[in-house]
Chain A
Amino acid sequence: MFADATASDTALRRFLHGLPGVDAVGLEARAATLGTRSIKTTAKAFAIDLAISMIDLTTLEGADTPGKVRALCAKGVVPDPTDRTAPKVAAICVYPDMVATARQALDAAGGRDVHVASVATAFPAGRAALSVKLADTRDAVAAGADEIDMVIDRGAFLSGRYMQVFEEIRAVKEACAREDGEDAHLKVIFENGELATYDNVRRASWLAMLAGADFIKTSTGKVAVNATPANTLVMLEAVRDFRAAGGRQVGVKPAGGIRTAKDAIKYLVLVNETLGDDWLHPDWFRFGASSLLGDLLMQRQKLTTGRYSGPDYVTVD
């Protein structure tokens, strides 16, 4: 379909730079307007449960221990022990060396359908040789990761070496192959905060989709600017346009800085208004978050009991 665009370095550059520019003011205004929608009662209850089922419950700290990962898995399977009707999260997101622990803990807790996502490719900086990145990826896949969150080489992207980024994504995608024939899903992280412009976010989105990404993800959560409604909207539009132009359906994952149910619902409104029902499913939209789940549960408790809940009634992490 897009074979011409990726035929050579020049063709790829011409294609990416031929994408229409983003009207930054209009984009931010639209994202802000959609954020003012009032979602109440049954719609809110639906949105909260949908948001919980879309969470990639994440712990990416140097201080992660197997115990912490196991606790997180237990929480992902039964988010609210006082109310078993709360849905499970979509996935647990950990570093590669914790994948086996997470898989084991999820299975033990009755969460076979909860995926394990692993960051790889020298997350979060991505500053390592390709061979190291590929080994990192294979390692995580072999340990049982269902999803791989890779970071693009921002240095190469910003200096215009698009083909290098493209081929790297391709290579990682190949490294996601599993023996049973089903590939681990590949999420490609751009780190929007480092890409500087919305035009770059749009180019990176197309680049990743052309290279075979199953999901595109805003950021690592490790820099000052992470997911914002505006930069997520650019990616949602890119995903929409890619399918409209004959490409596959690609998922989107905003990550970092989404902490409240209100924020999460704003993102769901963006998805619904930009992409429609097709994407309102954990297979096609995810939240990368850790503290978000607590707030969603507090809001959920408020809806079921009528009383405002508090942080004493959800787990600390």
Chain B
Amino acid sequence: MSEMSGKPGAHTRLSVLKTYKLFVGGKFPRSESGRVYEVTDTRGNWLANAPLASRKDARDAVVAARKAFGGWSRATAYNRGQILYRIAEMLEGRRDQFVAEVAAAEGLSKAKATAQVDAAVDRWVWYAGWSDKVAQVVGGANPVAGPYFNLSTPEPTGVVAVLAPREPSFLGLVSVLAPVIVTGNTAVVAASERAPLPALSLAEVLATSDLPGGVVNLLSGRTAEIAAPLAAHQDVNAIDLTGADAELAKELETAAAENLKRVLRPSAGDAGGEDWFADPGTRRMLAFLETKTVWHPMGV
């Protein structure tokens, strides 16, 4: 009380530190292992403790993603688009928080961090619009010599494991996550190992955006440790290796071959080989789609 007595009305507040947690099945659990690791800014100053996910967290995340797949893949494209757009709205509302987190995590100026967050929000909106258009681009009626309709439609692959790029921590994450879920896949994401905080905060946005629990599951920790069980998991249908270095990517692709997972390799060169601010194109969406073709009699 004594230090407050000088100035009436003024008082020292206890600092309220945020406990960053995983995001699995729409809930925010701690790591099953009870472990955390220190996340620092580029100068080595402590920012927060992030959960250090174990292989069992990865397993639980896959179970949650599988459970969510039925509902999410059957939702109408319109509905999925609306939900993705809603996520963009929520991101916009928490822009300042993400700018601060990105700036701290990557040692960026406020202007550069703002540019990254803006680009990320714009990318959500861009992908949200694709939900009901992708089928028109890669599906359609095929010409056949007979009295049949022959129709091809793209369908989601299933549960997709995503290794988010190490940098940019936020734009990179959004750029690999949105194309996976917009088409109806569900995702288990290993966030950037060094800068996981923007990803863990994104989970809070996802949880309040009508996105069904389990569609996106976010894990933080050692990428290699989380990725190995995901790549070998028989109930994961595809894996995006963007966040893996060349050596790890090779190892994971070998493990992924066991159940013929679809594999999206990291772009050539080092992991920074991709220009994240450029127009992403449809490559990432199409990597996780299966084409279903049906024959249908035309009738008389």
Q: In chain A between 258 and 315, which residues have their CB closer than 8 angstroms to a CB of chain B?
A: 301, 306-313
Contact check, A306 vs B234: say whether CB atoms are below 8 A apart.
no
B40-74 interface code vs A (CB 8 A; 1 in, 0 out): 00000000000000000001001000100000000
B258-298 interface code vs A (CB 8 A; 1 in, 0 out): 10000000000000000000000000000000000000000
B175-199 interface code vs A (CB 8 A; 1 in, 0 out): 0000000000000000000000000
Q: Which residues of A contact B66 (CB under 8 A)?
A: 310-311
Report the minimal beta-carbon distance from B70 to chain A, rounded to whole angstroms: 11
Q: Which residues of A contact B258 (CB under 8 A)?
A: 307
Q: Which residues of A contact B232 (CB under 8 A)?
A: 306-308
Most buried by A among B62, B66, B235: B235
Does B139 reach chain A (CB closer than 8 Å)? no
Q: Which residues of B contact A307 (CB under 8 A)?
A: 232-234, 258
CB closest residue in chain B, given A309: B234
Q: Which residues of B contact A312 (CB under 8 A)?
A: 234-235
Q: Which residues of A contact B62 (CB under 8 A)?
A: 308, 310
Report the minimal beta-carbon distance from B106 to chain A, rounded to whole angstroms: 33
Tell me the dominant secondary structure on chain A's binding face: loop
Determine the interface band of chain B, counting residues with CB < 8 A from chain A. Answer: 10 to 19
Within the assembled complex, what's the spacing in Å between the Cα atoms of A309 and B59? 10
Within the assembled complex, what's the spacing in Å between the Cα atoms of A94 and B283? 52
Does B213 reach chain A (CB closer than 8 Å)? no
Q: Which residues of A contact B229 (CB under 8 A)?
A: 308
Please give the number of chain A residues whose Cβ is less than 8 angstroms from any Cβ of chain B in the complex: 9
Within the assembled complex, what's the spacing in Å between the Cα atoms of A43 and B66? 29
Q: Which residues of A contact B233 (CB under 8 A)?
A: 307-308, 310
Report the minimal beta-carbon distance from B71 to chain A, rounded to whole angstroms: 16
Q: In chain B between 132 and 171, which residues have their CB closer than 8 angstroms to a CB of chain A?
A: none
Report the minimal beta-carbon distance from A314 to chain B, rounded to whole angstroms: 11
Within the assembled complex, what's the spacing in Å between the Cα atoms of A313 and B232? 14
Within the assembled complex, what's the spacing in Å between the Cα atoms of A312 and B237? 11
Within the assembled complex, what's the spacing in Å between the Cα atoms of A308 and B60? 11
Report the minimal beta-carbon distance from A179 to chain B, rounded to whole angstroms: 49
Within the assembled complex, what's the spacing in Å between the Cα atoms of A310 and B234? 6
Within the assembled complex, what's the spacing in Å between the Cα atoms of A313 and B235? 9
Within the assembled complex, what's the spacing in Å between the Cα atoms of A307 and B235? 10
Most buried by B among A309, A310, A311, A313: A310
B225-242 interface code vs A (CB 8 A; 1 in, 0 out): 000010011111000000
Q: Which residues of B contact A301 (CB under 8 A)?
A: 234
Report the minimal beta-carbon distance from B123 to chain A, rounded to whole angstroms: 31
Report the minimal beta-carbon distance from B143 to chain A, rounded to whole angstroms: 34
Within the assembled complex, what's the spacing in Å between the Cα atoms of A310 and B69? 14
Q: Which residues of A contact B59 (CB under 8 A)?
A: 308
Q: Which residues of A contact B234 (CB under 8 A)?
A: 301, 307-310, 312-313
A307-B232, A308-B229, A310-B62 provided; 7 other pairs, C-beta below 8 A?
Answer: A308-B62, A308-B232, A308-B234, A308-B235, A310-B235, A311-B235, A312-B234
A and B contact pairs by CB, cutoff 8 A, 25 listed: A301-B234, A306-B232, A307-B232, A307-B233, A307-B234, A307-B258, A308-B59, A308-B62, A308-B229, A308-B232, A308-B233, A308-B234, A308-B235, A309-B234, A309-B235, A310-B62, A310-B66, A310-B233, A310-B234, A310-B235, A310-B236, A311-B66, A312-B234, A312-B235, A313-B234
